[in-house]
Structures are given as structure tokens and as C-alpha cells.
Structure 1
């Protein structure tokens, strides 16, 4: 059963979601995502990269001992660079990063308003508590656990 307080929180989350959708970061992300999906050249590049990746995965099963391992690895790395340098993909990734930064910041502020001891999971070091970083394993992975 959902309480009245929980309903208020859900309503506030809906309002926050709508505000995020109105930001420039979200609008840019949507624009470049649509461009990415509509651009035939990008689609062909992605399809070709997927095929190269599948070929490499097959060769990789045998490791560096496969006669085509180095050739396939070099080929996929060169093609990945070509793909990454395409203007539409570059702008899509930039907009994706900016949107993620916004979402990280929102999550950080919401979390710390609840408690200063909340572990905020983010790859952005700005949002780590007291300069420490951590993960959900409590530091068993070898990282420094926050809190």
C-alpha cells in the first residue's frame, strides 16, 4: 500500500523528470540521438563495425595464437577510431556525457539531502564524499569505500 507521503514523493519525481526533459542537455541528447538513428551513413558504419566485432570475437576465442588475431584487432581498432570521429557520433557522445553529468548532479543533490552518508555511485569524482570513492562491494574490490 502506498502512503500519502510516498505519493507526494512520486509526484515530485514526476515534476523533476519533466524539468530535466526541459533542459538544454536533454534536448541536445534527443536531437543527436534522432540524428544518429536517421543518418544512413552512421547506420552503415555501425553495421560494419558490428560485423567486424563479431569476426574479431570469433578470432579472439583462440587468443593471440590465431593467425588473424593481430590483423583483426588492428582492423577493428582502426575502424572504431573512424566511427568515433564521425561528427554525428562525436556530438551524440558529447550530448550523452552532458546529460549524464546533469543526472549525476541531480542524484548527488537528492542523495546528500537525505543523508550525508549516502554512497553516490558515479564515475565523476566531483560527487565522491570527502574525496573518497567506492562501490557497492564495500571496498572488497580493492577500491576505497566511501563512508
Structure 2
């Protein structure tokens, strides 16, 4: 049974979702996601990288004892650099990062609206709240709480 309060919260979440979809970050992300899907050069690089990665995972099962391990690892690292330098992929990753930063900030503000002691999991240490460390490891990773 859904209560009236829960319906109100769901309506507010729908409104928040609509506002996110109106942001420049979201539109930029959608633009580059579409380009990533339709650009033949980027699609070819991604497809080739996926195949190389699958081949490397097969070799990696045997670790450094496989005769092709070093060669395959070097090849995949070199190709990854080529993949990362593709302008469409580079812009897509940048747009993805910016959208994630926006979503992290929204999550932070919603979370502290619920409770000051809530643990917000984020790759951005600025949004850490309610704990002794900036992540859920209890400080074992060496991060610190944002001030």
C-alpha cells in the first residue's frame, strides 16, 4: 500500500528528474552518447578494443606464464591510448564525468536533507558526510573527510 507521503515523494522525484533532463550536462551527455553510437570510427575502435580485451582476458587466466601475456598486455595498453584519443570518445567521457558530478551533487543535497548522518557514496570526496572517512572503507584507503 502506497501512502500519500510516498506519492508526494515520488512526484518530487519525477520533478527532480525532469529538471536534470533540462540541464546542459544531460543534453551534452545525450549528444555525445548519440555520436558515440553513430560514429563509425568510434564504434570500430570500441568493437576492436572489446575483441582485444576478450583475447587478453583469455591469456590473463594463465598470468605472466602465458607466452603471449606481455605482448597482449602491451598491445591492449597501446590501443587503449588510441581509443582514449578519439575526439568523440574523449568528449563522451568528459560529458559523462560532468553528468556524474551533477548527479553526485544532487544526491548529496537530497541525502543531507534526509539526515546529516547519512553516508553518501561518491567518487568525489567533497560530498562525504557523516563518517570518519571519505568513503565506506572506514579510512583504510587513506582518504579523509571533506571539511
Fold in common (TM above 0.5):
yes
The alpha carbon displacement at 1:145 in A equals 9.6
Q: Residue in 2 aligned with 1:3?
A: 3
Is 1:129 aligned with 2:129?
yes
Is there any run of 5+ residues in structure 1 with no aligned partner, and where?
A: none
Give TM-score, length-normalised by structure 2. 0.91
Q: Residue in 2 aligned with 1:88?
A: 88
Question: Is the partner of 2:75 in helix, strand or coil?
Answer: helix
Q: Return the alpha-carbon distance in structure 2 between the equivalents of residues 124 and 108 of structure 1.
A: 10
Question: Is the partner of 2:123 in helix, strand or coil?
Answer: coil
Q: Residue in 2 aligned with 1:23?
A: 23
Give TM-score, length-normalised by structure 1. 0.91
Q: Return the alpha-carbon distance in structure 2 between the equivalents of residues 18 and 26 of structure 1.
A: 11
The alpha carbon displacement at 1:113 in A equals 1.1
The alpha carbon displacement at 1:142 in A equals 3.1
What does residue range 1-147 of structure 1 map to in structure 2 within 5 Å?
1-129=1-129, 132-135=133-136, 139=138, 142-143=140-141
Q: Aligned residues, how many? A: 143
User: Contact conserved, 2:122 with 2:135, CA < 8 A, in 1?
Assistant: no
Question: Is the partner of 1:129 in helix, strand or coil?
Answer: coil
The alpha carbon displacement at 1:56 in A equals 0.7
Q: Return the alpha-carbon distance in structure 2 between the equivalents of residues 70 and 20 of structure 1.
A: 45
Q: Return the alpha-carbon distance in structure 1 between the equivalents of residues 102 and 96 of structure 2.
A: 10
**Aligned alpha-carbon RMSD (Å):** 1.9
Deviates more, 1:102-111 or 1:50-59: 50-59
